[in-house]
Amino acid sequence: MGEQHSVKFPQEVIDEYASLGVDLPSLFSAGHLGTRMGVQILEASAERVVGTMPVEGNTQPYGLLHGGASAVLAETLGSVGAMLHGGITKLAVGVDLNCTHHRGARSGLVTGVATPVHRGRSTATYEIVISDEQGKRVCSARLTCMLRDAPAGGAAA
């Protein structure tokens, strides 16, 4: 969990943030909670966000992946997509998260893929599919984020 990891951002996104003096790849993280849970963002754009999370350390008393852990992964991935859709002038704030848990996972990594359902001026909605290492769907989630104006100086300031 403490290893250095580089997120793949589209070059035009890196350039947009760099023009404001922000080194996006070094700035970006899954947040304190995501880091604590071992969330790794592998790929990030407004069209698709991919990330992983270990099952170990994120289980409920029966030894299965905790539903709340799946929710953290889903909200992290969907929020990143919404942030990239909104750009440097907007902040993405989650307002609705729905998760349906289909099967348990006991070990390994789960992978989440977030894709947009709606990308508007004031809201962005993403569907997040979380699968186990065998490609079986563990959870289906939907996140809607409100896009608010960033404070003066941009979202990353």
By annotation, the residues acting in catalysis are 75
Q: How far, in Å, CA of 48 to CA of 105, rounded? A: 24
Q: How far, in Å, CA of 54 to CA of 33, rounded? A: 14
Strand order in the sheet with 49-54: 40-44, 49-54, 109-119, 123-131, 137-149, 90-101
In single-letter form, the type of residue at position 87 comes to: G
Other C-beta atoms closer than 10 Å to the C-beta of 90 total 22
**Eight-class DSSP state of 8:** B
Q: How does DSSP assign 109-136, residue by residue?
A: EEEEEEEEEEE-SSEEEEEEEEE-TTS-
